[in-house]
Amino acid sequence: MVSEWWNRFLASDPALRRLRNATRVTAATALALVVTLGLLALWDRPLTNGMIAAVVAVNSTTAVNDETERERRRTTLLMPLPAAVSLVLAVSTASMPVLHVALFLPVVFLATYIRRFGPRYFAFGMVAFMGYFFAMFLRPQPPQLPDLLLAAVLGALSAFVLRFVLLRDDPRGILDRGRRTLRAQVQGLLHDVRNVAQNPEGTRYRKRLQHRSTRLNETARMLENAVSELEGLDEAERELLRRRILSVELTAENLLNPLIRVIDHPSGGTAVAQAVAGLLAVVRSDASEIRAAARGLADRIERDGVRPADDSAAPEQNRPGRDGSVELAMAIRRLGAALAEFTAASADLGRVAPRPRDTGSDDENDDGADSDERDTDGRTEQETGLRRPEVRAAVQVTCAAAVAIVLGQLVSPNRWYWAVITAFVVFISANSRGELVVRAWQRTAGTMLGVVAGVLVASRITGNSAAELAMILGCVFMAFYLAGVSYAGMTFFITTMLGALYGVLGTFDVTVLGVRLAETAIGAVAGVLAATLVLPTGTRRLLRDNTEEFLLRLRDVLRSTGTSVGAGTPDDGLREGVREVDDALHKALSSARPLVAYRLPSRRSPLDRSLTVFTGCAYAARNLAQVLPPAVEMVDDDTRTRLAELLWALAEMANAMTSEAEQSFGAARDSARGWADDLRDIAESLPQDPTSLHRTLAVLDRLRSLLDDAATEIGVPNQGTSPLGRETDAART
């Protein structure tokens, strides 16, 4: 039981990134507070100014997400500059209330608008906004400005020390922890399968099986990013590691099919649960032991047959027969083979040894230049003016902040800024009205529960400095550990922390947290109104755009792969293209979350089915990257040409579902079917069965079927057999 829960913990946090990030944030906050408060106490200055150090430390640890470590270091050291600008503005205008409030709106606009220039400016915008906000919260006097600027510098330095010296992200360590995460995810998958076998009529565990694939893909993508930062490896060795990561991902995903066959096998009874339990016992062993265990289970099932636990009470006609035992045994062998392949692939991962790095190399500089060039090219292709997402968001946030200021002052002339911060943060990572409404509700719910917890906490520990500091740091840890999982949970712990913080400041009052709740609700309402009335972005429209982007990326991968197959070089860009498809899929799934994740349980909607089909398409594309290269190597030029034609036809099927359609879906589907039939005839004439060509055709057939299902789900016109398709087939015959 303990190992099962530990595996679930590892699987829920790929490579322990959330745990390490929360630890780093908490340690950086503690270091910043200790150093800053120590200096302020030594100089007999107000200790409350030390909060700015904690604020800058938190933002420097969490908001800095540049592509390379060198850029992250530079951004972290530059974080005090935007914080200083906002602090100077806030402190110097504090004596002019109207101007003080009016300047908050330009700060909000600029903090959101500058995100368009890249990840560095996202961090700058966050720390600038927080600097102005906490200057309003602390109400410092102009003579205290040097203390605030020093605190900002110490906060950034504390974050730098924790992130890049003491708790540095070592790419090889990430890779090692990622291997453990992948293994834990597969073990969790097996535990869920066992639960499905024990509760075959339930749907909860079957849904968990589907979610495993998504989390597995996220982990693999994260590990590939870590590979790009490994030192001492040339590009060939990095490519080898990327291939091994993809191999681990695919072999783990391929466990699902034999597992489902075992679960749904009519010979069921307790055999499925017992078989899975037997394989769970050896899942940490090497590949040969897993195969031997699977063969032993299968042989015993074939020899002794399968009997339910209550076999004596079952009618004779309902008891499984010998044929059922043989089929179940074959399913167990397939499952054992898949588990063995996964074990072998995960064991190979990370065996590349780094060579000494050439200190005179300019690779890092070149990579940065290429990255900047790619980013610049990408930006030139984006829309301009109010059509640019960052500009739209800046206008929306500013309007929401204006409404929050007006309504917030009606509730509390002294603490209206809580409404503004809510209106600001609910727009972070919210790309549509649906996402913003969900975030606004989660923040309000988290605040509501946090107010209750904050009152209880503050009433118990106020006056106990050690307990107050421990509670503050504990809440910081839990808030950022849950940041990527539950926004409501993060808000809950932040609000609870405020109860302890007000105790430290000596201003705790139950009504203070009540005002925070009211202001949070006002800010949430202001954000929803702005997202609905000012330059709105509909959730379904965003989903439609992201779905089309996914289909276009899939089309591009199939087209480029067809071209490279025709030239006899199937490896060119296929893996990179597959990851682009994965990224587009995750964007589509994220934009659909408000429509599918926050509603009452019911039968599956067309949207659910569409997303499942698109996920299957991405899965087929990943399998194609694995099975296609050996197939191309084994066949002749004529077969390669037919493979290229099939890939191009599948690309046209994906393209026919977008606004860039060049031909009808039916014509593209008929063309793909014809080329697939030709290739199947060739594969059947081969002396060996199965071959890599057979496996490739199976993947391509699956992809064609999924694209056909996707066209049905989203209502693509012209799905029937077209005259063009019949003429193409006739000409080929």
One domain for residues 559 and 617: yes
Last residue of a domain, one of 169, 193, 223: 169
One domain for residues 117 and 209: no
> What does the pLDDT read at residue 28?
94
One domain for residues 472 and 582: no
One domain for residues 724 and 593: yes
d(CA 641, CA 553): 22
One domain for residues 337 and 458: no
How far, rounded to the nearest angstrom, does the alpha carbon of residue 501 sit from its chain's CA centroid? Answer: 32
- Residue 614: is it exposed, middle or buried by C-beta count within 10 angstroms (0-12/13-18/19+)? buried
In a domain, 53, yes or no: yes
For residue 384, the one-letter residue type is T
Last residue of a domain, one of 169, 195, 218: 169
In a domain, 611, yes or no: yes
One domain for residues 257 and 126: no
- Is the distance from CB of 709 to CB of 613 less than 8 angstroms? yes
- Tokens coding 462: 């106020």
One domain for residues 42 and 100: yes
N- to C-terminal Cα separation, the chain: 61
- Tokens coding 173: 């360590």
d(CA 374, CA 389): 19
Place of tokens 């499952």: 335
One domain for residues 517 and 543: no
Range list of H helices, 63-118? 69-78, 80-92, 97-102, 104-113
CA distances from 26 to 273, 366, 718 (A): 43, 35, 58
In a domain, 365, yes or no: no
> What does the pLDDT read at residue 370?
42
One domain for residues 122 and 8: yes
Nearest to 549 by CA among 649, 623, 660: 660
> What does the pLDDT read at residue 31?
94
One domain for residues 679 and 564: yes
Span 281-326, pLDDT tens digits: 666 666 677 778 778 877 877 777 654 444 444 444 444 444 556 7
In a domain, 133, yes or no: yes
One domain for residues 610 and 526: no
**Can you list the pairs that 561-569 forms with residues at least 24 positions away whose Cβ atoms lie under 8 Å?**
561/624, 561/628, 561/647, 562/643, 562/644, 562/645, 562/646, 562/647, 562/648, 562/651, 563/644, 565/628, 565/632, 565/640, 565/643, 565/644, 565/647, 566/640, 566/641, 566/644, 568/632, 568/637, 568/640
In a domain, 358, yes or no: no
Span 72-115, pLDDT tens digits: 999 999 999 999 999 999 999 988 989 999 999 999 999 999 98
> What does the pLDDT read at residue 365?
40
SS3 content of the chain, % helix, strand, coil (to 5): 80, 0, 20
> What does the pLDDT read at residue 341?
72
In a domain, 382, yes or no: no
Last residue of a domain, one of 522, 537, 552: 537
d(CA 442, CA 436): 10
In a domain, 377, yes or no: no
Nearest to 493 by CA among 481, 511, 509: 481
CATH number at residue 243: 1.20.120
Can you give the residue range of the structural domain that contains 273?
A: 174-309+321-348
Give the residue ranges of the chain where pLDDT is below 50: 307-322, 353-381, 721-733
- Angle between the N-to-C axes of helices 69-78 and 119-138, in degrees from 0 to 180, rounded to the nearest 10: 30
Number of other CB atoms surrounding residue 351 within 10 Å? 9
In a domain, 720, yes or no: yes
CA distances from 301 to 167, 261, 269, 321, 396 (A): 51, 16, 12, 11, 64
Overall domain count for the chain = 4
3-class SS of residue 592:
helix
One domain for residues 61 and 183: no
Span 328-363, pLDDT tens digits: 777 777 777 777 776 776 666 655 544 444 434 444
